[in-house]
Amino acid sequence: MKPRDRALLGQVADVDLRLLRVFKAVADCGSMAAAELELNIAISTISRHVKDLEQRLGLVLCRRGRAGFALTPEGEQVYVAAKGLLAATDAFRTSLHELTQRMGGDLHLALFEKCASNPRAQVALALQRYRALAPEVRLHLHVGTITMIERGVMDGRYHLGVIPEHRRSESLRYDELFDETMLLYAGPGHPWFESRSARGWRALAALDLAGLDYHSPNLELTHANQLRRAATASDQEGVAMLVMSGAFVGFLPDHYAAPFVREGRLKAVSPGVLHYRCRFLCIHRYEPPPTRAAEAFRQCLVDAHRAEPAR
């Protein structure tokens, strides 16, 4: 290919942005086959787009074959650069919508796990109302840990976050939304699963506890009551699996654990004593202030939970 046919430094055309979005999707998904579902285009077209990008850049970006898909060192660098460029492009498009007083662009919302099964959480209602209010806004929902969501809001990756209250930052604004009840559970084979005796915090301190492996109300409770964390998990699903083994006890949201209780795979132990509440908050940065689209969704969240107050 002649040098003039390549994308020139500083001259990124629409075609380059399209090719970079395809390449980023392939890298995010880990294969062209997986990206086929994400992009809703044929794998042959994806392969051609990646090849076109390689030709325009004059670089080999990835290896594909029997050994599987992998980015080359140059591909890794292009991937990082592409993420930054595409994020800036999306932010620019959102800014234009702001200037023209239209609610459009992208809205990134990050949620703590298991909100969907909580009957007190009215996030779905807020989404419904927001969709009617701002149909041109593209919604992106992310699920992660408290730390991931806080950092993402602080560095601008997410416009809003919904997390359990645990500690507050002066750089973030907080709105109260809903709460959930955390109960202690045991699984079949554990001595506390069959026992009908009342249990307390002092007795719990002698048991092997499974808990979340990051800063959270769960971790704070463990330290405050001097409980013995014998196993950790990166999310509630992992805690549930550990408790179902019968080797550990652990705290889980009552709404999430309910199906397992009905199936006889979990049992709440002394729920009148061994429980705690988590209050969930909406967070966003003070500076810069939220976009019109983000502020509108924040208000939808607050209004939805005022209409259905936390219990």
Domain boundaries, the chain: 3-97, 104-176+281-307, 179-278
* pLDDT value, residue 195: 85
Domains 104-176+281-307 and 179-278 agree in fold: yes
* pLDDT value, residue 99: 54
At residue 226, φ and ψ (nearest 5 deg) are: 55, 50
* pLDDT value, residue 223: 86
| CATH class, 3-97 region | mainly alpha
Task: Select from 2.60.40.10, 3.40.190.290, 3.10.20.600, 3.40.640.10 the CATH code of 179-278.
Answer: 3.40.190.290
* pLDDT value, residue 310: 43
* pLDDT value, residue 98: 59
Residues of the chain short of pLDDT 50, as ranges, are 1-5, 7-9, 309-311
* pLDDT value, residue 109: 97
Give the global pTM. 0.66
Of 165, 287, 161, 280, the residue nearest 220 (C-alpha): 165
Distance CA 37, CA 181 (A): 37
Q: What is the pLDDT of residues 153-195, one digit of tens each?
A: 998 899 999 999 988 888 899 999 999 999 999 999 999 998 8
Task: Select from 3.40.190.10, 1.10.1760.20, 3.20.20.70, 3.40.50.300 the CATH code of 104-176+281-307.
Answer: 3.40.190.10
C-alpha separations of 204 from 31, 59, 88, 227, 243 in Å: 46, 59, 50, 7, 14
C-alpha separations of 208 from 226, 243, 267 in Å: 12, 10, 16
* pLDDT value, residue 90: 77
* pLDDT value, residue 102: 60
* pLDDT value, residue 95: 67
* pLDDT value, residue 309: 46
Of 121, 136, 82, the residue nearest 305 (C-alpha): 121
